[in-house]
Structure 1
């Protein structure tokens, strides 16, 4: 089985790093920080910055650049691995599954995170969107993974915590498994058409074994 994993909210809790970079970008532009920011984790940055910046293309691009500046130096280190993820990854490897990461985070930001994870070497490939893209591109990246690994949709599964992950899976006729320990809600994942929901990493390993 080809197991495609989202990164933020699925393998790692990156809330501190992501929101720290969002606040930094808004501060640089003199924009007040919203009271609630958790929903920023998952969607493409430009999508989230747009309403706060009156959909001004130039200011949005400035905000994204400020975000990337801080993330490149500090933000990428500001995360923790969810409890039980390492044991789950080890179990999937032992069972002979092929693992890869499909993330909305640009590859240049995701790669150092993956390389520093204790189980980072378990992932055969990393898929991330072009930094200039305003879209999540999960569907496109999942399609690329199926092609690269020569896998049929029935031989693959996409695992993530937001509807973007499940949307990408559905678009490719791949089973999408939603995880309930991340930044999305059960209602969001069910509405998107998740094939199954995992309570915790151990439950996820059981679902994949079945």
Structure 2
């Protein structure tokens, strides 16, 4: 039986935009500073989690090194244009437009810093479809998916419940939704795969963005 979802929560990287080039270039730039060389393909698995978790894997638990790596990452991401080495997935805008036409609320819940989320959606002229754009803080707080979903829902005056649907491409999106008792959609065109999304317990799995219109 089809549920009447009133609020649709979207992830950003791997769900709204294909952002791997800018993110992996930024990680490479930071790792090069530490004398570490990695190829873009091997770094794609880091799209989704917080940067601190990514760099801890390479530089260890030294917080000063982790923060320096994040600083170098943002030198490329912000100052050298990595943020906009990015493109919107096919069907995204028409899907967002139709969801709004159906009278539903759309919010963003990303582990990316909120200021960057806003700039990316503004750049692609998608911000007009969102009732709230939520992300982490620049200091890497509020970066867990469950935290940012909660934050975004609170900012539109809603509490998690059966009328909320989370859409994302990685297990973090699915598990964060599950922790809040929210149904979820796993998308196969992002950076996770079917096995990851199924193991995480996605309520639905879709192959293209417009498929979500059959659910909401």
Superposition TM-score, scaled by structure 1 size? 0.93
2:69 equivalent among 63, 68, 75: 63
For structure 2, the 5+ residue unaligned runs are: 1-5
Structure 1, unpaired ranges of 5+: none
SS at match of 1:158: strand
1:97 corresponds to 2:104: yes
Asked whether 1:4 is paired with 2:9, we answer yes
CA distance in 2, matches of 1:25, 1:145: 30
1:146–1:22 Cα change, 3 Å: same
Q: How far does residue 18 in structure 1 lie from its aligned partner after superposition?
A: 0.2
Task: State how far apart, in whole Å, the 2-side matches of 1:148 and 1:77 are.
Answer: 27
Using the TM superposition, give the Cα deviation of residue 161 of structure 1 relative to its aligned residue in structure 2, in angstroms. 0.2
Question: For residues 33-82 of structure 1, what are the alpha-carbon distances to aligned partners after superposition, in whole Å with 9 as ceiling and x for unaligned?
Answer: 25711101111111111121133222111110111121112111110111
The count of residues paired between Structure 1 and Structure 2 equals 208
- After TM superposition, the structure 1 = structure 2 runs for residues 52-91 of structure 1, keeping only pairs within 5 Å, are 52-73=58-79, 74-91=81-98
Q: 1:142 to 1:126 in 2, by over 3 A?
A: same
Residues 136 and 164 of structure 1 are in contact (CA less than 8 Å); yes or no, is this contact kept in structure 2? no
Q: Are 2:191 and 1:183 equivalent residues in the alignment? A: yes
Deviation of 1:148 (Å): 2.9
State which of 125, 134, 153 in structure 1 corresponds to 2:132: 125
- How does the TM-score come out when normalised to structure 2? 0.91
Which residue of structure 1 lines up, in the alignment, with residue 32 of structure 2? 27
- Name 2:165's counterpart in structure 1: 157
- Give 1:86 deviation, angstroms: 1.1
Say yes or no: does 1:40 pair with 2:35: no
Of 185, 191, 207, which aligns to 1:199?
207
Q: CA RMSD in A?
A: 1.6
